A and B are shown apart, each in its own frame.
Chain A
Amino acid sequence: QKEVEQDPGPLSVPEGAIVSLNCTYSNSAFQYFMWYRQYSRKGPELLMYTYSSGNKEDGRFTAQVDKSSKYISLFIRDSQPSDSATYLCATPNRDDKIIFGKGTRLHILP
């Protein structure tokens, strides 16, 4: 089982919709989680990170962690065409290597 799994998509949603992006992880020892956004031909950009279960909100973005089910989510409200990108979830393992999901490609349709 891969340490972090993520549906590659693509996920296409209409502008203004709520987007839900999800990852599962295998190791209950993972302590904190990150979401990165990567535009084409660019490096990943850190969007949010959270250390605990529950929700963390930043503008239109909400990160949610459910440690009991080893499930992390990123919600985007009022989605915009500029949100079209690949979204990667990530978590450091015990060797402090950041383990990335393969990313979900998101298309926001105008």
Chain B
Amino acid sequence: EAGVTQSPTHLIKTRGQQVTLRCSPISGHTSVYWYQQALGLGLQFLLWYDEGEERNRGNFPPRFSGRQFPNYSSELNVNALELEDSALYLCASSSDAPRTFGSGTRLTVV
């Protein structure tokens, strides 16, 4: 069974640019979660999508947004990138409470 896949694995952007990260959940999982893991801050919850709807949102500004497609894959969009957005962005999926994580996208903003 394929796990959660994320793309790209690494990305370098400059301040002010926009970025789109992608996630494909495990087959059969309808929920997708996005987390940001910045150095020293641990895993911070960003967004939760289920059945195409945004169900919950963490304490992040509106320039962090996303969507979930009919096939349950998901995109995370970050506009007006700032240096502090540099982090590992992790996607997780679940059909129950424990989440299964992808390997993440390492975003560096310069």
Contacts and interface: CB of A to CB of B under 8 A. Distances in A.
Partners in one complex: yes
Interface of A: 32, 34, 36, 41-46, 49, 88, 90, 92, 95-103
A46 B42 contact: no
B102 interface: yes
Given A43-B101, A43-B104, A98-B33, A103 B42 contact: yes
B101 A97 contact: no
Interface stretch (B11-19, B61-69, B70-78, B92-100): B92-100
- For the complex of A and B, 8 pairs with smallest distance between CB atoms: A43-B101, A102-B42, A100-B43, A43-B103, A97-B45, A44-B101, A43-B104, A49-B98
5 contacts: A34-B98, A41-B103, A41-B106, A49-B97, A101-B42
Contacts of B32: none
B90 interface: yes
Nearest to B10: A41
Interface of B: 4, 6, 33, 40-43, 45, 48, 55-56, 58, 90, 92, 97-104, 106
B98 A97 contact: no
Given A96-B56, A102-B42, 8 more contacts: A43-B6, A44-B90, A46-B99, A46-B101, A92-B97, A98-B43, A98-B99, A103-B42
B101 A45 contact: yes
Interface majority SS (helix, strand, loop, mixed), chain B: strand
A46 B4 CA distance: 13
Contact of B98 (A42, A43, A46, A95): A46
B66 to A, nearest CB: 16
A96 B48 contact: yes
A45 B100 CA distance: 7
A44 B100 CA distance: 8
Contacts of B100: 46
Which of B6, B33, B98, B106 is packed against the most chain A CB atoms within 10 Å?
A: B98
